[in-house]
Structure 1
Amino acid sequence: MATRKKGGLGKGIDALIAPSVKKEADKEKIVEKVVEKVVEKPVEKIIEKVVEKPVDVRMKIDEIEPNRMQPRKKFDEDALQELAESIKQYGLIQPIVVKKNNDYYEIVVGERRWRAARIAGLKEVPVIIKEYDNKESMEIAIVENLQREDLNPIEEAEAYRRLIDEFGLKQDEAAQKVSKSRTAVTNALRLLKLDERVQKMVIDDMISGGHARALLAIEDKEEQYGMAMTVFDNKMSVRETEKLVRGYLKKLEEKDSDEKTKKKDFSQMETIYGQLEERMKSIIGTKVAIRSRNYKKGKIEIEYYSNDELERIIDLIESVKQVG
């Protein structure tokens, strides 16, 4: 069963928060490299309109708000607490990237650090102020989270969907923006076809993205959710899940085959019954219907339209009995 990494503090933070205090010169070099890696490189790759020289300042933490378009929705509380303790000891060394939004500043990159800084009780935080539009902010947030592997598979898929639906990008364009293959984006988007309960299980780390992709082969939503619970309850691996799904699909195929055979047999019997009805009609001289309950049982209905006709039919049947 998939488990989230709770020990790590993010690629940038791990480099900064060490068991022993490093020299200031080394610390500054590390900060420079981390900021360049996490912030500047993705920006250079996907953003055309940027401020020529970012402003690095300290800002009151209450003047900053989360980005409503942030693709990441779930934050590990234990990891936030761990990061907050490190911030208390070392301070927030890596700046938060923000943009002006009316009367406040909105986070573009660094919401996890901002949340941890609030927990740590910081009143001010270092920020880099840049000018991005909504599309650019979304792209940067996705890239930054993907680089840190912070998004769960459903959050990642939702982020791609928003790039495509809200900003009019094609799948290959969205893939290019976030340095992914089109196949990777397509496979991620397929997860959104899962039953919402199964998606929630992925978000809550009850099952992994690998488990979820295996379950996509099951179209029936109730069966899909039921099997997801089976996988979770039995702590099944992805391989075991794939085997379970194959077994289900095989039984479903056999059942469908039986149903098709029954339908074919029923169709043939309908033809035979029709021929028998015509033969009996020609003998009795009135409408006859054969009602089949199954392949071996049923009833024959003979219609009559007057008492005289009923007497005639009874006489006909009795004559047949006498001949027998």
Structure 2
Amino acid sequence: MSKRAGSGLGKGLGALLPALDINDDDKVIEIPLSQLRPNPYQPRKHFSDETIQELAASIKEHGVIQPIIVRSVLKGFEIIAGERRFRASQASGLQTIPAVVKKFTDQQVMEIALIENVQREDLNAMEIAVAYQSLIDQFSLTQEVLSTKVGKSRSHIANFLRLLQLPEEVKEYVSRGTLSMGHAKAIVGLKDKKLIKALADTAIKEQWSVRELEEEVKKLEEKGDTKKAKPKQTRKDPYINEVEESLREVYRTTVKIKHNNNNKGKIELLYFSNDDLNRLLELLQGKTS
């Protein structure tokens, strides 16, 4: 009945999974389903109706073979591990479910929910991203600390967190699996949200591979670079040009006048050595002609 930590887990989270083992010393009790509530930190938001019904059919025939893990909370119990068994038990018409009560902190509950699902690859990319961000926000973790805890590289963490920058509709595509993680990574760096949405729609409609989408993004970026290489030239006020030229003759250095539409601005005098600076200071103070 035990669940063991996978080799890919960091020591922080890997140490939590043995706490989910059900040993001979643990007391299994029957808890009314009405007294149970789902784990609020559960990162998985989508449960397959088909798999729940299949599990419900098995429970009707064989019962709940493995007890769920819960912790005691105000007005009942909170599910730590086994929400699918809980949902399937509801679907099968059971009134109670076997459970083992254990003590966990809020952080442990959140971490366990994350690693259980990630290890079973039950989460989609957006759910993982939200779970990572929740851990960071709730417990003030850095990406480095989180990467150690989940046994993943910092770049892995960063790539998932970047998905949270996507427009809401595109996030939904990723959640449903309509758009893959690879496709999302190819467009998440674009600043134009409308362009991201348009590219996502086209990729889905045309069934582009990740490579094809990356090539399209590259083409667009190259066009953008071309535009940036030829910035629009703004015409300077002729009067400002005249004043700059006059000051250059007086101070014998480069002079730039910067001003805004409210006729406020500043005058910059460039110097190239300490001697040059002293020369300008003397001129400004009127000590030389």
- Relative to the length of structure 2, the TM-score reads 0.73
Deviations 1:87-128 (A, max 9, x none): 223322122111001121101111122112211222222212
Matched, 1:187 2:159: yes
Matched, 1:131 2:103: yes
Match of residue 201 from structure 1? 173
How has the CA–CA distance of structure 1 residues 48 and 84 changed in structure 2, closer, same or farther, with 3 Å as cutoff? closer
Percent of paired sites with the same residue: 37
Query: What SS does the aligned partner of 2:3 have?
Result: helix
* Alpha-carbon distance in structure 2 between the residues aligned to 1:161 and 1:73: 15
Range with greater deviation from structure 2 (187-196 or 170-179): 170-179
* Alpha-carbon distance in structure 1 between the residues aligned to 2:209 and 2:136: 32
Match of residue 37 from structure 1? 4
The Cα of 1:38 is off from its aligned counterpart by 7.0
How has the CA–CA distance of structure 1 residues 43 and 175 changed in structure 2, closer, same or farther, with 3 Å as cutoff? closer
How has the CA–CA distance of structure 1 residues 126 and 208 changed in structure 2, closer, same or farther, with 3 Å as cutoff? same
Larger relative helix fraction = 1
Deviations 1:245-272 (A, max 9, x none): 11222222223334x1xx2xx34xx36x
Give me the CA root mean square deviation. Answer: 2.8
* Alpha-carbon distance in structure 2 between the residues aligned to 1:239 and 1:88: 47
One-letter code aligned to 1:183: S
The Cα of 1:129 is off from its aligned counterpart by 1.2
Match of residue 137 from structure 2? 165
Match of residue 284 from structure 2? none
Q: Contact 1:47–1:136 (CA<8 Å) still a contact in 2?
A: no
The Cα of 1:176 is off from its aligned counterpart by 2.0
Query: What SS does the aligned partner of 1:85 have?
Result: helix
Query: What SS does the aligned partner of 1:128 have?
Result: strand
The Cα of 1:163 is off from its aligned counterpart by 1.0
How do residues 30-69 of structure 1 correspond to structure 2 at under 5 angstroms?
Answer: 32=1, 35-37=2-4, 45-46=15-16, 53-69=25-41
Query: What SS does the aligned partner of 1:100 have?
Result: strand
* Alpha-carbon distance in structure 2 between the residues aligned to 1:50 and 1:91: 20
Match of residue 121 from structure 1? 93
Q: Contact 2:4–2:17 (CA<8 Å) still a contact in 1?
A: no
How has the CA–CA distance of structure 1 residues 114 and 132 changed in structure 2, closer, same or farther, with 3 Å as cutoff? same
The Cα of 1:195 is off from its aligned counterpart by 1.5
Matched, 1:212 2:179: no
Q: Matched residue pairs, number?
A: 235
Match of residue 152 from structure 1? 124
Q: Contact 2:147–2:157 (CA<8 Å) still a contact in 1?
A: yes
From 175, 188, 191, give the equivalent of 2:147: 175
Q: Contact 2:30–2:98 (CA<8 Å) still a contact in 1?
A: yes
Q: Contact 1:71–1:141 (CA<8 Å) still a contact in 2?
A: yes
The Cα of 1:46 is off from its aligned counterpart by 3.5
Query: What SS does the aligned partner of 1:105 have?
Result: strand
Match of residue 13 from structure 1? none
In our comparison, the structure showing a higher alpha carbon Rg is 1
Deviations 1:207-242 (A, max 9, x none): 011111111121111110111111111122222221
The Cα of 1:50 is off from its aligned counterpart by 9.2
- Relative to the length of structure 1, the TM-score reads 0.65
How do residues 298-317 of structure 1 correspond to structure 2 at under 5 angstroms?
Answer: none
The Cα of 1:74 is off from its aligned counterpart by 1.5
* Alpha-carbon distance in structure 1 between the residues aligned to 2:203 and 2:20: 47
Q: Contact 1:97–1:109 (CA<8 Å) still a contact in 2?
A: yes
The Cα of 1:179 is off from its aligned counterpart by 2.1
Match of residue 288 from structure 1? none
The Cα of 1:47 is off from its aligned counterpart by 7.6
Query: What SS does the aligned partner of 2:52 have?
Result: helix
* Alpha-carbon distance in structure 2 between the residues aligned to 1:135 and 1:162: 10
